[in-house]
Chain A
Amino acid sequence: MNYHFGGGRSRAAPYAFLAPGLILYVLLALGPSLATAVYSFTDATGLPGIKINWIGLENYKEFLTLGAAARENIGALVRTLVFCISVTAIQFSLGLLVAVLLNQKLRGTQFFRTLFFLPVILGVTIQGLIWTLFLYPLGGPMQSVLGLVGLHSDFLGGQPTEAFAWVIVVQIWANLGMTIVIFIAGLTTIPTEVYEAARIDGAGRWQVFREVTWPLLTPTVNTNLVLTIIGSLQAWQLFLVLTGFRPGLTVMGYVVYATAFGATSGGSGSTMRQGYGAAASIILFIVVLVIGMTTQYLLARRERRVLA
């Protein structure tokens, strides 16, 4: 509105230069994102030039009700929720504890913060390979540690539930740094005078946390909870690197990828059922939306109560 230099013709300049960014976004992200719903009602494949037919709710029906595959799909849905709850509970509480500890005047806090955040930067490929080596079943480090107490594990190659548990461990190892850093950012916004006042009143450590830190940290708590819940519902890439596609072990995100692009990655077009995969994607999206919105609603209500 206040762009008046140049005058006349150049009034169009901001529009012209905004256009490329906007067009790219609509064409490559927003449009395709919304089109996922449309594709879920078709029999689209991953091959070019094949006629795409409208088949209504068939993909959804097949995904949720047809035979053994549907049972595996429901299993994947349940595992997605278990994965989300386990990861969120541990990552959130551990992250909060570490952030509170690192927010004190302790020597070496910078080092710890850097170390815990490092895996976030390295990305899934390196995270996955580092842990595949660490969980090397033939006398690897973790095996040796377990051996000390007379235990043995097949780790990522073991029973599905066992491998699943290890993926949870790696997922938390990989993303805890993010939770910590966001909590620390929130903690630094709490003025030190509030702590001092509480301490003068004779409050102990636990009391200070409960009466001062926890309520004042509410907005950051909410951010972290929502991010971790949504993130872990959609997470699946570590499964790809750590375990591969195995029945009884996969989560929804992996099912979407495997059905739409072929489980063995870059596989032949015949296994690329993109309409079916889109339906799986929409089912996961609805789960994320319902859980995400419910969490947002509950947290907003709590925030109003706490900060009132």
Chain B
Amino acid sequence: MKITYREAMRQALHDALAADPRVFLMGEDVGKYGGSYAVSKGFVEEFGPDRIRDTPLSELGFVGAGIGAAIGGMRPIVEVMTVNFSLLALDQIVNTAALYRHMSGGQFSVPVVIRMATGAGRQLAAQHSHSLESWYASVPGITVLAPATVDDARGMLAPALADPDPVVIFEHALLYNFEGELTDAWRTADIRSAKTLRAGRDLTLIAYGGTVWKALEAAVQLAAEGIEAEVVDLRVLRPLDDAAIMDSVRRTHRALIVDEGWRTGSLAGEIMARIMEQAFYDLDAPVARVCSEEVPIPYAKHLEDAALPQVPKIVAAARTLAGKGAAA
């Protein structure tokens, strides 16, 4: 069955709200407006304003309240409109949610789920377009997810809610309208493993969120040139599934990471370091990466396109990595 990413997420939220009275959704415009990305359209009529709770523009306050409600026995799903706005709530997410269990000597768990849109590509300019997943993925105590497929949009929320600790879910804004085939795999989605979306013997493309689809498209083009690229969808950004990454790299001996975050301090950099630590002697070439340019994402379409990882850049980097040179 074909379904949009938005619809998959909507169904996941609906299931969660219907299944457990402790679950509630809170955030800016999740209720009367129907969600800034229309994910929760119609929910307030069905579940009421207590469980589909519109909040003021107080990211620090309402994310902190979600964390407190989780400690108090509820299972809140807090929606932050975009990762860019989540910086206003960073204190509560990092200094409270992530640390709470350890610094209390294990006395309290924080079963909160925080969802936020991320990524560029819609000409929303510098303050609505960044990918800061790596910031969150560097913090012990939280699990960080990046569903890229409709199966994962449908399936990852339930295990995230079942997790007794904080989980942050990144939804790439360009994916909401994306349509994909929903398979039964969503019913067994986990929040620990990476997944190989395409098999290949020549090199491994490692991607997450919005770049997964660019990597898959690049793989199709590379196949036409006789380069068989394997595509690994990370799915989980913390903890990283080292075993899946190394398993693929040990077979292909070449790895290219595609990451919409800025290069410096990127998740791509962390993955490269891990490959070097764990699979250095299996490599036939230095690990490569395609990241966003180190610039605030600009408004003008041609400049925005140039700032982001794009299929031609991925293909070119893959060719070089595979030893096929830059020619085509």
Partners in one complex: no
Question: Which residues of A approach B to under 8 Å, CB–CB?
Answer: none
